[in-house]
Amino acid sequence: MNTFIAELEQANVGELFYNEPLSKHTTWKIGGPADLLILPKGKEELITIVKLLHKHGLGWTNLGRGSNMLVSDKGVRGVVIKPANGFDYLRFEGTTAIAGASYSFIKLSVLTGKQGLSGLEFAGGIPGTVGGAVYMNAGAHGSDVSRVFKYADIVLETGELVRYVRENMRFSYRHTVLHELKGFVLEAAFELEEGDRIEIASALASHKERRLRTQPLQLPCAGSVFRNPSGDFAARLIQEAELKGFQIGGAQVSELHANFIVNTGNATARDVLALMSHIQSTVEQRFGVSLVPEVLVVGER
């Protein structure tokens, strides 16, 4: 590790933070320290980082906005990579929108709408980054990333740069090939259609209003905790199990949206995991349904 760090510092790839608390980098405001957090300057620097990691036989953990992630209280051993300002861009090529990995998914939906391009209205209420949205095949309101995805430029764990089109991604509900294949999204392209700016703005406003009305955004949270079972909704099952407001430590099932767990101020990852387990066992006992987590749990247990 020391040799890797020496080579990394010499390569001048970006900002390096040692023993960085990841609670500062997740929307749940939970998580222990990363041994090393790297904020690469841009694409070439990130590729250099990955090649050095591969050379030294080291793995890494991807981190975007941390809106769909629970980091353990002990933190993450080794290297965490978080794309910084060099990945925060958007450009248009005709009806195609091309955005960097750290670009806000909500901002993308708004600015494509202002261009009169339709297809990303569903993203108006989805927090997180473009990279995270592609990784999770994020979706809402009956649509998801797979419907508008054109390609993504991805760095594989060897440092090889590849371009994956839709057929390569193996899209399914909240899942892509990136869950099995170690890689880092650099940028993604979305094929949109010309639409009416007023209608697009109206749809976005409606989604935003619903999000503000139904989601507990005033408290730290990580979006939906569990995937929706086929033909049903996790929130409905949790609410019917009378778990709204149920609390373990500082983690609480939201009174506003049953599929959200909020940090009331001092929640630990241990609290959240215990609450998730209680929700799963209660729903299983009441309805015979196994809830599958949507959030990613990372770090040392």
**Co-location of 181 and 236 in the same domain:** no
- Is 294 among the catalytic positions? yes
pLDDT of residue 217: 86
Q: Are 148 and 190 in contact (CB under 8 A)?
A: yes
Q: At 263, which CATH number?
A: 3.90.78.10
Give the tens place of pLDDT for each residue, 97-111: 999 999 999 999 999
Catalytic residue (choose from 20, 121, 187, 294): 294
Catalytic residue (choose from 224, 240, 290, 300): 224
Q: State the Cα–Cα distance between residues 210 and 124, nearest whole angstrom.
A: 10
**Which range marks the domain in which residue 61 is found?**
2-85
Give the tens place of pLDDT for each residue, 187-211: 999 999 999 999 999 999 998 888 8
Q: Distance between terminal CA atoms of the chain?
A: 21
Give the tens place of pLDDT for each residue, 195-253: 999 999 999 999 888 888 889 989 999 999 999 999 999 999 999 999 999 999 999 99
Last residue of a domain, one of 67, 85, 103: 85
* Total domains present in the chain: 3
Last residue of a domain, one of 213, 230, 263: 213
Q: State the Cα–Cα distance between residues 38 and 36, nearest whole angstrom.
A: 6
Q: Which two tokens stand for residue 93?
A: 């090529």
Per-position DSSP letters for 269-289, written without gaps between them: HHHHHHHHHHHHHHHHHHH--
Q: State the Cα–Cα distance between residues 88 and 130, nearest whole angstrom.
A: 9
**Co-location of 94 and 61 in the same domain:** no
**Co-location of 22 and 65 in the same domain:** yes
- Is 224 among the catalytic positions? yes
- For residue 162, the cross-strand partners are 154
**Co-location of 154 and 228 in the same domain:** no
Distances (CA, A) of 106 to 88, 129, 169, 263: 13, 8, 22, 23
**Co-location of 31 and 55 in the same domain:** yes
Give the tens place of pLDDT for each residue, 17-52: 999 999 999 999 999 999 999 999 999 999 999 999
**Co-location of 254 and 204 in the same domain:** no
Catalytic residue (choose from 174, 202, 230, 290): 174
